[in-house]
Chains A and B, each alone.
Chain A
Amino acid sequence: MGALLTEAFITSLVFGAITAGVPLLLAGLGEQISEKSGVLNIGIEGMMLMGAYCGFAAAYYSGSFWAGFLFGGLGGAAVAVLMAVFCVRFGMNQIVIGIALTLGVEGLTALLHFFQFSRTYPRLGESGALRIPLLSDIPVLGSALFAHHPLVYLAVAVVFALGWVFRSTFIGFNLEAAGNKPSALDAAGVSVIATRVYAVLSTGFLAGIGGAYMANVGAGLFIPFMTGGAGFIGIVLAMLARGRPLWVLFGALLFGASLALTTALQVAGLNIPTDVVQMLPFAMVMLVLVIFGRHSYLPPALGHPYVRGER
């Protein structure tokens, strides 16, 4: 045990947890917005993947990481537009469309990758971490916590911003009402459809940035199917967080840590298969559910398209 707790191990673990956790965080936050408004956004996996591809392509051709994140977000939002039109506007089945979009994006990005990058497999350079003065000089944890790409700090800021939006803005009230009692929102003169459409678009944007971070900062390149279920983990995080962004942050770091644990263990000279470590967070969540099993809270209108006059 003592050998494990070396500086290098801890630094590598915490740093890795954050790098792996940020995409999950953004996806989880995004999904949380959708779920609050009553849309179960199964298409988030596709939105992340599209974000990863668009983000990588934009960063590769422009040379700017920020352009990468912007286009990653827009790519995710573009997939979300389809989700919004079909599921929110038309009221089509959210699970069918969500899965269909995910499959389509998987195929499309893999094709694009095949025709564009499969011969050269280009990589991006260093992402340019922002070392926060003083804080990043703290021994062991300093460089693990305070030497990341600025987007990481921005993502954490989004957690608190979202908490504020949910609690004390009209947007937060509208989202809550759209998921809890859409007819009340309608009667108050706010369009339920529009509220949900914006919610789904925000989800796409955040998930897209998360995907872009995964490709550009985490891996430095785009690989087909690279999100590998991260979007679904986002759904799990959002459902477990019961509407609280801070819980998404904790959850994302926990999942991130377990993803990073393999690498960190290798640094520490231990070789435990990735698969075992990857099971940890899920096993832990299931265990928590069994031991502290409570009725999980989900918005009453989750998954139901809104039609005026029907209850």
Chain B
Amino acid sequence: MTTGSERSDADTTQIRDSLLAVVRVLVPVFLALFVGALILLSFGKDPLTYYGYVISRGLFSPSGLEATITRIAPLLLIAAGLIVAFRAGIWNLGVDGQFLLASVVTAALAPVLMDSMPRGLTIVTCFAVSTAVAAAWSLLPAFLKVRYGINEIITTLMMSFLGISLSNVLVKIAFNDPSTTVPQTATLPVDERLPRLFDTTIHSGVLIALVALLLVHLMMTRTAFGLKLQVVGANPRAAVHTGLAVGKLTYATFAISAGLAGLAGSVEILGVWGTMRADWNPAYGLLVIPLVFLARFHGAATIGFVLFFAVLMIGGESASRRLGVPQYYVLVLVSLLLIFFALVEYLDQRWRKQARA
């Protein structure tokens, strides 16, 4: 009846909602840090020193911040691919194999092309070829899913194992640089790698990743293609009913998702390492999958989560050298964060349901 009180109600709801959103982020972070602190204490390490060091190294020291932002590039590219796949209801759990194969291809191709091509063209060619290779690696799971309805969780996992082994074989046998003792590919000189941004060690792959994520976001929200993918993901039977070409869309989803994972590998090689060593496997895929879930497949939220975890990784790497807490501890912290984020979200949904009732 009284519009005035309605408006103030709306205002308070809005304030309460934004407060709740902050609480939903802070509570799990606090809980994870608290449980993590208990673990550190049990090993006889001072948690406050550790956390302080991680944050100051990962976020507030110039070199640490540069490393953090550099680390974001492959994670965001993988995340962009996973957002497409998960929105379309496809479980691409084979990211690591796709990533590594693309890395090998880039590492093998770049030094060879460099001799005959300008840097820009070399880089673009490497991107294109490695993206295509990664996409091709997902062709078989896509075929098996479309043709026989075989669950892609198994097939992508298997192709991932295959891809990891194959990339090692390629490094050790096909593209081994005979001049080094450890098996690795020929090294790309620093000035032939991805251009750096300004005077930092951050390479331009970060921009590529941000653009890719933005494009994926626009594709999913503003195009017919994105909407079709979401229909397939949300209700595959509705997709059949409305006459969508589910098979083609499935192939496209696999290709985009794997292709972006491949691009991540290519960017990581061209931007950071310049070479690929045998048995190198950062296993980013396993880490990014839950992050994308926590971000609810949302682009901006994904950037937030990825940044947060990059800080932890970089800070944790420094801390392991300095404080004698192995880098593995970061995995524990990541795990705790994932669990508490999921738990808080679960409780939040339950309370809302009760509030509605």
Contacts and interface: CB of A to CB of B under 8 A. Distances in A.
A and B touching (C-beta < 8 Å)?
Answer: yes
B150 A107 contact: no
A40 B157 CA distance: 14
B198 interface: no
A239 interface: yes
A175 interface: no
B335 A100 contact: yes
Interface in A45-100: 82, 86, 90-93, 95-97, 99-100
Interface string B129-147: 0000000000010011001
Interface string B263-300: 00000000000000000000000110110011000000
Nearest to A112: B43
A171 interface: no
B346 A90 contact: yes
A286 B158 CA distance: 8
B23 interface: no
Nearest to A101: B335
Contact of A295 (B148, B162, B289, B331): B148
Contacts of A239: 151, 153-154
B169 A276 contact: yes
A250 interface: no
Interface in B25-71: 39, 43
A176 interface: no
A258 B288 CA distance: 30
Interface residues of B, number: 46
A236 B352 CA distance: 38
Contacts of B201: none
B260 interface: no
Interface string A270-297: 0001011011001101100110011110
A273 B169 contact: yes
B88 to A, nearest CB: 15
B173 interface: yes
A138 interface: no
Contact of A40 (B153, B172, B293): B153
A293 B332 contact: no
Interface in B141-180: 143-144, 147-151, 153-155, 157-159, 161-162, 165-166, 168-169, 172-173
B154 A290 contact: no
B351 interface: no
B334 interface: yes
A155 interface: no
A103 interface: yes
A95 B342 CA distance: 11
Contacts, number: 145
A275 B168 contact: yes
B338 to A, nearest CB: 4
Interface stretch (B11-19, B110-118, B210-218, B322-330): B322-330
A275 B331 contact: no
Contact of A282 (B161, B326, B346): B161
Contact of B331 (A106, A279, A286): A106
Given A92-B346, A296-B149, A104 B286 contact: no
Contacts of B289: 95-96, 99
A222 interface: no
A286 B149 contact: no
A289 B150 contact: yes
A110 B346 CA distance: 30
Contacts of A107: 328-335
A111 B332 contact: yes
A27 interface: no
Contacts of A93: 293, 342
B336 interface: yes
Interface in A217-256: 224, 229, 232-233, 235-236, 239-240
Contacts of B43: 111, 115
Contacts of A105: 335
A286 B140 contact: yes
A275 B172 contact: yes
Nearest to A99: B290
A96 B162 contact: no
Contacts of A295: 148-150
Contacts of A92: 342-343, 346
B158 A275 contact: no
Contacts of A103: 286-287, 331, 334-335, 338
B308 interface: no
Interface string B171-211: 01100000000000000000000000000000000000000
B305 interface: no
A43 B92 CA distance: 17
A97 B342 contact: yes
A95 B153 CA distance: 11
29 contacts: A40-B153, A91-B346, A95-B289, A97-B338, A99-B290, A99-B338, A100-B335, A100-B338, A101-B335, A103-B338, A106-B331, A110-B331, A114-B328, A115-B43, A229-B161, A233-B161, A236-B157, A236-B158, A239-B151, A239-B153, A239-B154, A273-B169, A275-B168, A276-B165, A279-B162, A279-B165, A286-B155, A289-B155, A290-B143
Given A273-B169, A293-B144, 4 more contacts: A104-B339, A233-B161, A275-B166, A289-B144
Interface of A: 40, 82, 86, 90-93, 95-97, 99-108, 110-111, 114-115, 224, 229, 232-233, 235-236, 239-240, 273, 275-276, 278-279, 282-283, 285-286, 289-290, 293-296, 298
Closest 9 CB pairs of A and B: A104-B335, A107-B331, A100-B338, A110-B328, A107-B332, A293-B148, A275-B168, A275-B165, A107-B328
